[in-house]
A and B are shown apart, each in its own frame.
Chain A
Amino acid sequence: MAAVTGLEQPLVTAPARPARPRAWRAAVFVIAGLYFLVPLGASLWYTVYTPTTGLSFEPYAELLTAEGFASSLSLSLALALATIALVLLLTLPAMLAVRLFAPGLRPLMEVLCTLPLVVPPITYVAGLSTSLRVGADVLAPTPFWATLIAVQDPGFPVVLVLAYVVLVLPFVYRSLDAGLRTMDVRTLVEAARSLGASWPHVMFRVIIPNLRSALASASFLTLALVFGEFTVSRLLGYQPFAVWIVTISGSRGQVSVAVSILSLLLIWLLLLAVSTAFGREKK
């Protein structure tokens, strides 16, 4: 037995790297860093320093206490979470089902999921608002009318979640597709099934744990997109974070730049939170 296992060497990992490209890498890194950090630093300096009064964090204090900050932020956060949950709940089982039971439908699914990318948001929102208006008129005498009104509740506009699900579909589809490509889905599912696992068990113990990074990147993209989305929410008359930023920053220069820096920081923090939530790597 020992002789047998001796034949089987574990796979060798990455070879040593040559030293020369390291200098190049450093140069590229510095240039890229400057490209991002110089404007950021300049913006930050602009918001906190005035030649006449000196250093002051007043614009930030003003922002955080401004009306609508907390409510728009929490609205965006809630919308993002709901969108992530709904879009994953829709796409993951659908993509698995297509892979396992109807591989012939994969090209069709790919086209459908990529379609939102080519429709400009302005077209999309025009169609959406028309539908909502016409729908409300047509459905007025039926119980559906109440539903239609409920999804437009300004407290939590479900209609935005539905709209965002469509908007993020291409990105979520791409991320999950890349993740599913890295594993032999069919064999893993069959192995689990033959070991007695039910379908939910297969999903939560086999598929999801192995798709963690794909799910994380899908969630990243959704979060970033929902936080930055302006057209649809503005034209439908809601005030999530992106819309609030534009509203508040219109009047004063320093405040508007402070808002940009703050929102950038916020997104970073949220992405960090998402990545730690998914990032419990194996080993």
Chain B
Amino acid sequence: MTSKVEFRGLRRVFGKTVALDGLDLTIEPGQFVALLGPSGCGKTTALRCVAGFERPDSGAVLVDGKDITDVPANKRDAGMVFQSYSLFPNLNARDNVAFGLRVRGVPTATRRAKADELLELVGLPGHADRYPHQLSGGQQQRVALARALALEPRVLLLDEPLSALDAKVRVALREEIRRLQLGLGITTIFVTHDQEEALSIADRVAVLRDGRLEQAGPPAEVYDRPATPFVAEFVGTMNHLPGRLAGDGKVTVLGQTLPVDGTAPTGPDVTVLIRPEAIQVTLADTTHPPAVGTGLGEVVTASFRGASVRLRLLMDGHEVLADVPGHEAARLAPGTRVAIRLVERPVLVAARAAPVPDAV
């Protein structure tokens, strides 16, 4: 059984802090939605409202159209995996997974079989008799996942379940979670502050800021067409370059004129937002004057990132980040004079000196 989850005008205040400020979001049955945002944006509070650990001051959480605000946590039928290790220390892996079944009065043999089956599903066959302290962090979170799935909940709630794990285990486990979720078709809400994590496994990414929804959409849409400067800044990296509106829905930046994506603010001086991968870098030709539409600058630092190299460039006193393929790194050592060219495609434009919030 899989369910539709709706947040309707959810509001929750802790003392002077507004954690949720009228959150509206609908999650379709079987969808994997990532709630993404900096710490303090309300994403965990929203999740805890679904689990029943937090009560909204106003607004409601609907599951399959039914308001569950007054349903106690133990009657909500939501499986949850927590950020911190939450296995019961006195029970072995099997009994942890079978805990919910035992609460429901499922006979011993049935729940043992079910628990072993689930442990196999999460990749831990043969670990049933181990106690939490005998398992690694990643293994503990796998058991926690199996435990959350044991009752075949209507919604799976994941509260930053990977944040305590090291990088490799993290990536492996998040793909594992996605595989399981697709197989079971269970509606899943995944809270994270890691944009890469959100983009890589979710059907939809909902970006939250100060308790409100900034944008919700498929990962590619959120990345390529951020609805607000905040989303643009938070999801991925952005260069902020000074530009000038050229009329006709165009903007001039670093000597190039590009079409504006969406509506431009009133100008004429604006800030143009450009992804590092939308900047092409070539060696500067010092024998000829620069061609039209080409900026000149110098490489300050080059940091190797595996497949690509991120260059930090200085152009007319502005810092510009550019990603180039890894094999070009040798030619583009710090100190090299380079020319940059922006990829010809519509760019996002924000009002100059628009306060761009700190991304985490």
Residues of A within 8 A of B (CB): 1, 4-5, 7-11, 183-184, 187-188, 190-198, 201, 205-206, 209-210, 212, 282-283
Give Cα A194–Cα B239 distance, bound, in whole angstroms: 44
Name, among B53, B78, B88, the residue most crowded by chain A CB atoms within 10 Å (CB to CB): B88
Give Cα A1–Cα B104 distance, bound, in whole angstroms: 31
Contact pattern, B 128-154, Cβ under 8 Å of A = 1, otherwise 0: 001101111111000010011011000
Name, among B51, B74, B123, the residue most crowded by chain A CB atoms within 10 Å (CB to CB): B74
Residues of the A chain whose Cβ atoms lie less than 8 Å from the Cβ of B172:
4, 7
Shortest CB-to-CB span from A212 to chain B, Å, is: 8
Structural contact, A188 and B88, CB atoms closer than 8 A: yes
Shortest CB-to-CB span from A167 to chain B, Å, is: 31
Structural contact, B138 and A7, CB atoms closer than 8 A: yes
Shortest CB-to-CB span from A186 to chain B, Å, is: 9
Residues of the A chain whose Cβ atoms lie less than 8 Å from the Cβ of B78:
194
- Give the residues from 38 to 86 in chain B that come closer than 8 angstroms, CB to CB, to chain A: 51-53, 72-76, 78-80, 82, 84-86
Structural contact, A210 and B53, CB atoms closer than 8 A: no
Structural contact, B89 and A210, CB atoms closer than 8 A: yes
Interface flag for B124 (CB, 8 Å): yes
Q: Which of B73, B134, B157 contacts A10 (CB 8 A)?
A: B134
Give Cα A192–Cα B103 distance, bound, in whole angstroms: 9
Give Cα A64–Cα B144 distance, bound, in whole angstroms: 57
Interface flag for B90 (CB, 8 Å): yes
Contact pattern, B 154-165, Cβ under 8 Å of A = 1, otherwise 0: 000100000000
Q: Which of B80, B90, B139, B151 contacts A210 (CB 8 A)?
A: B90
Nearest 10 pairs of A and B residues by beta carbon: A195-B100, A8-B136, A193-B73, A209-B90, A4-B172, A8-B138, A191-B86, A1-B123, A194-B80, A187-B86
Residues of the A chain whose Cβ atoms lie less than 8 Å from the Cβ of B144:
191
Q: Which of B74, B89, B138, B173 contacts A194 (CB 8 A)?
A: B74
Residues of the A chain whose Cβ atoms lie less than 8 Å from the Cβ of B79:
194-195
Residues of the B chain whose Cβ atoms lie less than 8 Å from the Cβ of A11:
133-134, 136
Structural contact, B89 and A183, CB atoms closer than 8 A: yes
With contacts A193-B74, A194-B73 taken as known, whether A8 is within 8 angstroms of B51 at the C-beta atoms is no
Shortest CB-to-CB span from B93 to chain A, Å, is: 12
Residues of the B chain whose Cβ atoms lie less than 8 Å from the Cβ of A283:
131
Contact-size category for B: 35 or more
| Chain B residue with Cβ nearest A212 | B90
Residues of the B chain whose Cβ atoms lie less than 8 Å from the Cβ of A209:
88, 90
Residues of the A chain whose Cβ atoms lie less than 8 Å from the Cβ of B86:
184, 187-188, 190-191
Q: Which of A192, A193, A212 contacts B52 (CB 8 A)?
A: A193
Residues of the A chain whose Cβ atoms lie less than 8 Å from the Cβ of B103:
195-198, 201
With contacts A5-B124, A282-B131 taken as known, whether A206 is within 8 angstroms of B74 at the C-beta atoms is no
Give Cα A61–Cα B208 distance, bound, in whole angstroms: 80
Give Cα A193–Cα B151 distance, bound, in whole angstroms: 13
Q: Which of B73, B147, B168 contacts A7 (CB 8 A)?
A: B168
Structural contact, B100 and A196, CB atoms closer than 8 A: yes
Q: A193-B53, A209-B90, A210-B89 provided; 10 other pairs, C-beta below 8 A?
A: A4-B176, A11-B133, A11-B134, A190-B53, A190-B80, A191-B88, A194-B78, A195-B150, A195-B151, A282-B131
Give Cα A194–Cα B81 distance, bound, in whole angstroms: 10
Give Cα A197–Cα B173 distance, bound, in whole angstroms: 28
Q: How many A-B pairs with Cβ below 8 Å?
A: 103
Q: Which of B74, B85, B88, B137 contacts A196 (CB 8 A)?
A: B74
With contacts A190-B51, A194-B51, A194-B79 taken as known, whether A5 is within 8 angstroms of B90 at the C-beta atoms is no
Interface flag for B234 (CB, 8 Å): no
Name, among A184, A193, A195, the residue most crowded by chain B CB atoms within 10 Å (CB to CB): A195
Q: Which of A9, A183, A198 contacts B74 (CB 8 A)?
A: A198
Pick 14 A–B contacts, CB within 8 A, sort by A.
A1-B176, A4-B176, A8-B137, A190-B82, A191-B80, A193-B52, A194-B74, A194-B78, A194-B157, A196-B151, A197-B100, A198-B103, A205-B99, A209-B88
Interface flag for B169 (CB, 8 Å): yes
Structural contact, B88 and A210, CB atoms closer than 8 A: yes
Shortest CB-to-CB span from B45 to chain A, Å, is: 14
Residues of the B chain whose Cβ atoms lie less than 8 Å from the Cβ of A210:
88-90
Structural contact, A8 and B53, CB atoms closer than 8 A: no
Structural contact, B82 and A187, CB atoms closer than 8 A: yes
| Chain A residue with Cβ nearest B139 | A8
Residues of the A chain whose Cβ atoms lie less than 8 Å from the Cβ of B173:
4
Contact pattern, B 95-137, Cβ under 8 Å of A = 1, otherwise 0: 0000110011000000000000000000110000011011111
| Chain A residue with Cβ nearest B100 | A195
Give Cα A205–Cα B78 distance, bound, in whole angstroms: 20
Shortest CB-to-CB span from B162 to chain A, Å, is: 13
Shortest CB-to-CB span from B77 to chain A, Å, is: 8
Residues of the A chain whose Cβ atoms lie less than 8 Å from the Cβ of B169:
4, 7-8
Residues of the B chain whose Cβ atoms lie less than 8 Å from the Cβ of A194:
51-53, 73-74, 76, 78-80, 148, 157
Shortest CB-to-CB span from A198 to chain B, Å, is: 6
Residues of the B chain whose Cβ atoms lie less than 8 Å from the Cβ of A212:
90
